[in-house]
Amino acid sequence: MLKNHNYEKGIYYLELAKKYLYELDSLNHSICFIIHNNLAYLYLNTNQFQKVINLLEGFINTHDNFIYVRAMPHIYMSLNIACYNIGDYEKSIKYIKKAILLFNYFEDEYYAGRCHLNYINSLRYSGNLDKALEIVNRCKNKYKKYNKLYLSFFIQEMILYFNIGNYNKVMEISNEIEAHQLSEMSEHNYEFMIGHIKYLHNDFNGAYGLFKKCEKYFLTQYYYRDLLLLYDDLYNMTKDISYKAKQNEIMNKNGRKNIVMIHC
């Protein structure tokens, strides 16, 4: 069900499996960690962030025999994502540091690098932009041998400057990137930021083309805050009221944080 993206049924079967594990007092098995990890993944993909926290914190706070310790950094990553999506940045930073520590312990340099992307997100949303930039610059030097990961740190740097309105710096960084080498997520984030800057510079044809490239992906990822800005730009360019309708449809939906920061 997970591989077929049938998340509703996947959750049903995993919750059933978890129920039997608890009933049979079979928590000290690797399958228990795998079930909790996969269930958290499905909750994340369906925007049930509090469920992730309840599931995994309940598990790690009552479980003192980590027989399948290699699952733990993934569990901490899930907790990090869930916490920063509900605005608990202190916890999100605590969990991603634990994940980095464990991946380094297992000498998994690539996943430790991926964790740093999450760490930067947590710092950015908590308002610690200077620290986030410091880590970006450190990681750009450290992870050069992993091309897509390496380029992701350039995208993170663009996102940081995008959110403080330094669009000249965003464009300067973008000139160092060959977009076709980016991962799918990074490519669409790149399109979104460049599209918005083109809109601000009245290059409406260029902006429209880039926005239409990333719109569908953002919808599948529930990046509603980014889409609100995207649809606002599209409406202002085209005066097509369907974009206002799309804005209204997602206005109060529970989405995932990505680029646009939410200021309370």
The predicted pLDDT at position 142 comes to 95
Give the tens place of pLDDT for each residue, 3-12: 898 999 999 9
Please state the rounded mean pLDDT for residues 41-66: 88
Give the tens place of pLDDT for each residue, 137-153: 999 999 999 999 999 99
One-letter identity of residue 116 = H
Least confident of 16-20, 60-64, 187-191: 60-64
pLDDT tier at 64, thresholds 50, 70, 90: low
Q: How far is CA 187 from the centre of its chain?
A: 14
pLDDT tier at 29, thresholds 50, 70, 90: confident
Cβ–Cβ < 8 Å for 40, 52: yes
Checking if the pLDDT of 66 tops 80, the result is no
Give the tens place of pLDDT for each residue, 175-190: 999 889 999 999 999 9
Looking from the CA of 2 toward its CB, the CA atoms found within 13 Å total 14
Please state the rounded mean pLDDT for residues 94-119: 97
Domains and CATH numbers, the chain: 1-123 (1.25.40.10)
The predicted pLDDT at position 62 comes to 76
Checking if the pLDDT of 264 tops 50, the result is no
Backbone dihedral region for residue 185 (phi beyond 0: left; psi -120 to 50: alpha; all else: beta): alpha
Mean per-residue pLDDT of the chain: 94
Give the tens place of pLDDT for each residue, 199-223: 999 999 999 999 999 999 999 999 9
Q: Residue 150's closest CA among 100, 113, 198?
A: 113
Give the tens place of pLDDT for each residue, 77-90: 999 999 999 999 99
b (16+ CB within 10 A) / e for 53-91: bebbbebbeeeeeeebeebbbbbbbbbbbbbbbeebbeb
Least confident of 51-65, 101-115, 127-141: 51-65
Checking if the pLDDT of 263 tops 50, the result is no
Please state the rounded mean pLDDT for residues 119-128: 96
Give the tens place of pLDDT for each residue, 224-241: 999 999 999 999 999 999
Please state the rounded mean pLDDT for residues 164-172: 97
pLDDT > 90 fraction of the chain, expressed in percent and rounded: 85
Rounded to whole angstroms, how far apart are CA atoms 149 and 144? 8
The predicted pLDDT at position 69 comes to 79
